[in-house]
A = this chain, B = another copy of it.
């Protein structure tokens, strides 16, 4: 039998993200066009966007840059041309004052978080065990198993719930519960939030910035869906960065998940540590995604396409998905949806659901409809303490699929939810 190290045990523990990736891939390659993949974070295939990357690659092959891209090791810190273009774009667009020393490239946004979490938290030379604090739980399930010292590295704060109308709610940061402790290594959240589509307000963010800055603890924002790129936001959001913040970005949501390109924006000492970790673990990032994007960053095409095509596309899908809910779920069951402010998901909450969301996920899956059970996203909340049934009453629905599949999938969900309530 194989003997695993402690780290091996932590990293191979079966968690939500494994199930998600497996469901995703099985559905993609099943060849069954009738499957409703309302799970997963795969972006939609938007022809105007896909066309950009195809054209860009064609040009790289023609002009010979392709040969250099695949035939040489990249700089461990990322492609200098891409970084220059990115810095220039961000400074102009957001009024920041970045230099190339503020940027590192990783093998995807997931790897960026993995690197940062383990670089900052866990057992420290002074004997303390430091934690990553999530000020608003639920948050992205992919963080769950990333701790190299086991689950103890994450602590989440239960959010407040604000009802906006009979069926719409919004999570808000409960600042009364939010205690940054001496052992807090960083405060982290995704904005827009995966899974809920919440966008933490500029005011909430301002408070967080004050609190973390006062405590001397970095504030880490996973900006995979945020402004200025890809900017999948349906409410006004101000991009924010300062020397106390660590911003992670990704090329996945502009249609390049297959290139595995993540970006870290932080002060130079953090960037140097990230680059060193990239070198050690994988020599250098791959550079194809960066090269595909560079010309369109430089000439403004990418921002225009996001503004005119990408953001409206997802906003349209969100509105369409929301418009289906009243008719499908009706008034006989207590269905609620998180206010859709960004990202690619609806977050549905069924108060008092007589079965767990895991059971609901399985029932839907058996009918060809994949959703994400919500309890995985509460990974950072301690299980002990006052019981909170809420964490087993929610599911995440991706709205990147076609309108037809969305309608079909949501009908299955509504059907199973109704059955569950009526049989209790």
Chain A interface residue count, Cβ-Cβ cutoff 8 angstroms: 90
Q: Are A12 and B119 in contact (CB under 8 A)?
A: yes
The answer to the question of A3 belonging to the interface, with a C-beta cut-off of 8 Å to chain B, is: yes
Nearest CB of chain B from residue A243's CB, rounded to whole Å = 11
Give which listed residue, B11, B58, B107, B111, contacts A119 with CB less than 8 A: B11
The answer to whether A17 touches B124 (Cβ under 8 A) is no
With contacts A107-B282, A130-B5 known, is A255 near B70, CB below 8 A? yes
Min Cβ gap A154→B in Å is 13
Q: Are the C-beta atoms of A4 and B120 separated by less than 8 Å?
A: yes
> Given contacts A148-B7, A273-B4, A280-B146, are A72 and B42 in contact (CB under 8 A)?
yes
> B142 touching A257 by the CB < 8 A rule?
no
For the complex, give the distance between the alpha carbons of A289 and B1 in Å: 33
Q: Known contacts A21-B283, A276-B14, A283-B21; is A8 also within 8 Å of B71 by CB?
A: no
Q: Are B71 and A4 in touch, CB under 8 angstroms?
A: no
**A287 beta carbon closer than 8 Å to chain B:** yes
Does A190 sit within 8 A of B, measured CB to CB? no
- Tell me if A276 and B108 are in contact (CB < 8 A): no
State whether B18 touches A75 (Cβ < 8 A).
no
Residues of B within 8 A of A18 (CB): 76, 276, 279
CA distance A292 to B69 in the complex (A): 13
Stretch at the interface among A49-57, A169-177, A296-304, A405-413: A49-57
Q: Tell me the bound Cα distance from A8 to B252 in angstroms.
A: 26
Closest-by-CB residue of B relative to A57 is B61
Q: With A and B bound together, what is the CA distance between A7 and B22 in angstroms?
A: 29
Q: B-facing mask of A227-261, CB < 8 A → 1, else 0?
A: 00000000000000000000000001001111110
Answer whether residue A121 sits at the interface, using C-beta atoms and an 8 A cutoff: yes
> Which of A24-32, A340-348, A366-374, A414-422 lies at the interface with chain B?
A24-32
Point out which of A53, A74, A125, A281 has the most chain B C-beta atoms below 10 A from its C-beta.
Answer: A281
Encode A273-291 as 1/0 by CB contact (under 8 A) with B. Answer: 1001101111111111100
Q: Which of A28-64 contact B (CB under 8 A)?
A: 28-29, 40-43, 45, 50, 53-54, 57-58, 61
B73 pairs with A257, CB closer than 8 A: yes
Q: Does any Cβ of B come within 8 Å of A145's Cβ?
A: yes
Q: For the complex, is A270 an interface residue (Cβ under 8 Å from B)?
A: yes
- Chain B residues within an 8 Å CB radius of A24: 73
The smallest beta-carbon distance between A42 and chain B, in angstroms, is 6
Would you mind naming 12 contact pairs between A and B with Cβ atoms under 8 Å apart?
A2-B120, A6-B125, A8-B119, A8-B273, A21-B279, A40-B73, A41-B73, A57-B57, A69-B258, A70-B258, A73-B252, A146-B281
Interface residues in chain A, defined as those with a beta carbon under 8 Å from any beta carbon in chain B: 1-9, 11-15, 17-18, 21-22, 24-25, 28-29, 40-43, 45, 50, 53-54, 57-58, 61, 66-76, 80, 107-108, 110-111, 114, 118-125, 130, 142, 145-146, 148-149, 185, 252, 255-260, 269-270, 272-273, 276-277, 279-289, 292
With A3-B185, A8-B120, A28-B72 given, name 9 new contacts (CB 8 A).
Answer: A1-B269, A6-B125, A12-B119, A21-B73, A42-B73, A45-B71, A68-B258, A72-B258, A108-B282
Closest 5 A/B residue pairs (Cβ): A8-B119, A12-B276, A260-B286, A111-B282, A70-B258
